[in-house]
Amino acid sequence: MPKSPNRIAVPPSGGPSFRPKTNTTAPISTLCRVNGPLSVATIVVALVLAVWYLIRAALNRPPSRFDLLAMGVLGVLVAVLVLVAVAGLFDGSRPSDTATFSGYLITTIAFAPTGFVLARMEPTRWGSLILGVACLTLPVLVLRLQQIASVVTGG
């Protein structure tokens, strides 16, 4: 039977390994504090609140004082996360793209208060929808901060 051109050659036992090489050019960041439990807590709280706000919007309910207070608490949690990330910038390691990282930090810290103000200006079900969308966007911003912080340049 002739050999099929689609067959993969298997090395004999004890032969060289065919594992792909890993990229080890960039060191791991000490900004990994951004990737810790504070980030996980921020993401989980934001997603839980997003579900709550979207349910309230579907039920045609405006944001209550509790909803606005919960968004304020999320804003404080995000502010602490951003302060930890900024403190990580001064320990000698910097992300490979500091300008992008800084832009995400500014956007992340401004997003919860902006959602709060817009929801406060719209005291209808759309205010709850604004809060829900803001809470869905925050985890994306936090995940992007984690990605950028994981690749650093030496300092």
**pLDDT > 90: percent of the chain:** 48
Closest C-alpha to 33, from 98, 85, 80: 85
b/e string for 19-32 if b means 16 or more Cβ within 10 A?
eeeeeeeeeebebe
Structure tokens at 109: 């810290």
What's the pTM value of the predicted model, to 2 decimals? 0.73
105-130: pLDDT as tens digits: 999 999 889 999 999 998 899 999 99
- The pLDDT of residue 45 is 95
- Residue 70 clears pLDDT 80, i.e. is over it: yes
Q: Given a cut of 50, is residue 11 above it in pLDDT?
A: yes
Least confident of 11-25, 54-68, 99-113, 120-134: 11-25
80 Cβ contact partners less than 8 Å away, ≥ 6 residues apart: 38
Q: Are the beta carbons of 91 and 150 closer than 8 angstroms?
A: no
| Average pLDDT over the chain, rounded to an integer | 81
**Residues 32-42 pLDDT 10s:** 566 788 889 99
